[in-house]
Structure 1
């Protein structure tokens, strides 16, 4: 099992859309049993997959001692792809983790879930707190979506500082240019400055994910956006294999 965190300290960068599409690639292209773990209280991943969280049990309950997170997992419409949904209870999880005093609680839960999954993808909240620190300790790779802008560059520096703060053995970081529009001079300059970074174009197909509530590869498999996301997933698998 390998775990991948899609993370940014800045909202509105396409983090959740990328998480959903990478999870779809993991299951549909690589044929790996995949769990998408939504840790953002907005439940954006669930929405994009057409799934609403069950109300019987809150998302933070799985972190309690003796809890069984598998009871919260929901199947999606896509074979090999399951969702561990979020809800508003995630907002108080930081205090709960701090009270537990266990720095690797999330990593241990992921390890247990990994018995049934080949890939776990974390859709992380755009915050710096104990939850994000626990995700960094659990992840084998951190994906950072970056729309071309000075603010995004600064946000990337913050993420790098946080990941490296874990100490030796921290996961590698893969920056991704998101919402790239080469007709814009700022975007073109960002691409020229980082020619080796994977890039996801600004495309209507990506925007349609929210209205259709489907991954791009499911409804527009031949689109430039679907090809770019698939290429990114290939790069991710290669990076995991080289560890």
Structure 2
């Protein structure tokens, strides 16, 4: 089993759309048994796949007890793709993690799922928090969506510096990806063209419509430029995981 966290220090960079479409690609294109773990209290990834938290669910309590998460996992409309849904209790997860002394709790939970899944994609909340630190110690790869702007690139550089300082030699590889790219804007064009090795996800109404139709882009607009770009990103991620 390999795990990928879609993470950014900043919010509003297309993190959830990236996580959902990567998970869909892993399950369909890659034919991997895939779990999308929604760790963001907003639950946007859960909603986008037409799911909601189970009645009475408390992901925070199960995580705090190192308990089995199987009871919270739900199947989706797509083969090979399951979701571990977010619920409101995750708003208090940071406080719980900061209060205990089990720095490898998330790693242990991921390993408990390894017999059932080949790939686990995590939609992580933004910010350098205790949860983020545990993810850095647990996952095999970080995918970092960035807007093609100086502030977003600065946040990526800050993350790389943080990993080098606090997780030296043990940090997961970081794969940057541009999101919401509008090539009509000179700044976007110059930023993307300066680093052609990074995948660029175009700004597209089809991505915005994901929350309306509640489906991954690959299921609704598989031939679109954005869907192809997400497929290219998955290829990069998979190569890194197998590398």
TM tier relative to shorter chain: over 0.9
Q: Which moves more between the two structures, 99-108 or 58-67?
A: 58-67
Q: Which moves more between the two structures, 192-201 or 115-124?
A: 192-201
CA distance in 2, matches of 1:66, 1:231: 35
Residue equivalent to 2:107? 107
The CA deviation string for residues 152-185 of structure 1, in whole angstroms up to 9 with x for no partner, is: 0121122213333222221100010111111110
CA distance in 1, matches of 2:121, 2:159: 17
Residue equivalent to 1:204? 205
Residue equivalent to 1:220? 221
CA distance in 2, matches of 1:52, 1:79: 19
Residue equivalent to 2:236? 235
Structure 1 residue matching 2:187: 3-state secondary structure: helix
CA distance in 1, matches of 2:64, 2:202: 41
Q: 1:103 to 1:129 in 2, by over 3 A?
A: same
Residue equivalent to 2:131? 131
Q: 1:10 to 1:66 in 2, by over 3 A?
A: closer
Q: Which runs of 4+ in 1 moved over 4 A?
A: none
CA distance in 2, matches of 1:85, 1:50: 11
The CA deviation string for residues 49-81 of structure 1, in whole angstroms up to 9 with x for no partner, is: 011111322121221335211111111111111
Structure 2 residue matching 1:142: 3-state secondary structure: strand
CA distance in 1, matches of 2:203, 2:222: 16
Residue equivalent to 1:121? 121
Structure 2 residue matching 1:187: 3-state secondary structure: helix
Q: Which moves more between the two structures, 83-92 or 114-123?
A: 83-92
Residue equivalent to 2:87? 87
CA distance in 1, matches of 2:57, 2:211: 26
CA distance in 2, matches of 1:185, 1:162: 30
Structure 2 residue matching 1:179: 3-state secondary structure: strand
CA distance in 2, matches of 1:84, 1:159: 26
Whether the 8 Å contact between 2:137 and 2:170 is mirrored in structure 1 is: no
Whether the 8 Å contact between 2:4 and 2:143 is mirrored in structure 1 is: yes
Whether the 8 Å contact between 2:24 and 2:81 is mirrored in structure 1 is: yes
Calculate the TM-score normalised by the size of structure 1: 0.96
C-alpha displacement of 1:98: 2.3
Give the gaps of 5 or more residues in structure 2. Answer: none
Find out whether 1:180 has 2:181 as its counterpart: yes
Whether the 8 Å contact between 2:8 and 2:156 is mirrored in structure 1 is: yes
Residue equivalent to 1:41? 41
Give the gaps of 5 or more residues in structure 1. Answer: none
Whether the 8 Å contact between 2:40 and 2:124 is mirrored in structure 1 is: yes
CA distance in 2, matches of 1:64, 1:228: 37
Corresponding pairs, count = 242
CA distance in 2, matches of 1:162, 1:38: 24
